[in-house]
Amino acid sequence: MKNGVMLITYPDSLGRNLSDLEQVVSKYFSKAVTGIHVLPFFPSSGDRGFAPMTYRQIDSSFGDWADMKKLADDYDLMFDYMINHISTSSEYFQDFVDKGDDSQYKNLFIDFDKFWGSTPTEEQIGRIYKRKPLAPIRSIIFFDGTKRNIWFTFGDDQVDLNLETEEGLRFLDDNLRFLAEHGAAMVRLDAFAYTTKVKDTDCFFVEPKVWEILKRCADVLRAYDVGLLPEIHEHFSIQEKLARNGYPVYDFALPMLVLHALYFHEASYLSNWYEICPRNQFTTLDTHDGIGVVDVRGLLPDEEIEATKEHLCTYGANVKRIYNTAKYNNLDIYQINCTYYSALGEDDKAYLLARALQFFSPGTPQVYYVGMLAGRNDIQLLEETKEGRNINRHYYTLEEIEAEVQRPVVQQLIALMELRSTHPAFKGEFFQELVDKQHLILTWKTESESIELHADFQSYEFEIVEHI
């Protein structure tokens, strides 16, 4: 993959479809972006594409494989593979419900009671790592009127897949091969850590099983020279462990660390992270999900995390605590729903410094489409849908984009992105110097040239210095 900025976007968020997306990126961001993570574009029953019915088709409202190939000709593409689950509307699950044990797909799914060997105890269920205060099950009525408890980690239309069976593993292999053959430069393994269901464990990133699954995925994709990126929101030590084993990782700690540094004019915690963070990582400030909290535990003291959350709710623009409650379909206590621009009070100086810090951080920077346009919280969409995460999932029309790119903050951001995507010094080594708590210098250096970011966390001023 090219060493430049990767855009994260839904297929219908920068314009209506993949064709519009290609036009937008080519017209406004051709020098700024070298890769695109196209969020799920498959036929789906919900969760903005994360409940796929098949991987063999592109939802016709987005376009077709020819449109995707046109994107792949110019940009490194990342595709999602929802390794933990598939839609209940898929032909696989529907066949299972219609035929029961006579279904050829019965072994793709997990009978919750059979998994435990008997009715699980409250202690066993309580131990399972989950993001909602309920047992990860749905009672499904089959064709003959019988009921079975089937494993559902996430939404009611996202049924978990069984990677303990030959059928489940074959399903995994076949779909990864298909994505690799249809333009993927990298495959993101969504909800990867939930795949390891092992009795009397928390069923989350269970070793050694997790390494067996990951190696299998890597082996399949390696034959196509396609990379993989496991997506895991949890304690940063998991990312460190993945990196030590040779896998690229996400830097989900950076968003909260940068917010803390900018809110409280204090860069020491951020600097400490730079000392130890994996180098082969993908950095983010914003994604299609909320701003992660669990990922920064241990890097910020608990009291500093709480202070950052509190400050976000008072300093951030149009942020209310209720947006992160059950009223807005959000039971995930580990994320805060807000655009990054709004989290910084829609302060252009603070926002541009945040992006400069990201682009100078070790790793490949990813910029979410809303963040690329310095987007504000979409309260209208939030209220219309009562879905907390939609506050950061605005649908931009082509006319809106044309207007938004003229804003000075977006023009300056594009210039920063172009610098990160083209400057050769970013292929070199990373160094940092904490001058004092309010001043940090980040440096990238090769044998022939270097580039430095001088950041002032008090004034939000920064300077970029090049040496040849």
Among 76, 157, 190, 295, which one carries the catalytic annotation? 190
C-alpha span between 304 and 216 (Å, rounded): 40
Q: Is 246 exposed, middle or buried (0-12, 13-18, 19+ CB in 10 A)?
A: exposed
Q: Which residue has the tokens 């805060």?
A: 336
Among 59, 157, 231, 251, which one carries the catalytic annotation? 231
What one-character DSSP code corresponds to residue 297?
A: B
Decide if 231 is catalytic: yes
Take residue 232 and report the two structure tokens written for it: 């895991």
Neighbours of 306 (CB within 10 A): 12
Q: Provide the CA 319 distance to its chain's centre, in angstroms.
A: 21
Cβ neighbors of 326 (< 8 A, separation 6 or more) are none
Neighbours of 407 (CB within 10 A): 13
Decide if 466 is catalytic: no
- Please, what sign has the CA dihedral across residues 292, 257, 271, 78? positive
C-alpha span between 29 and 74 (Å, rounded): 12
Q: Are 60 and 19 in contact (CB under 8 A)?
A: no
The residues assigned a catalytic role are 190, 231
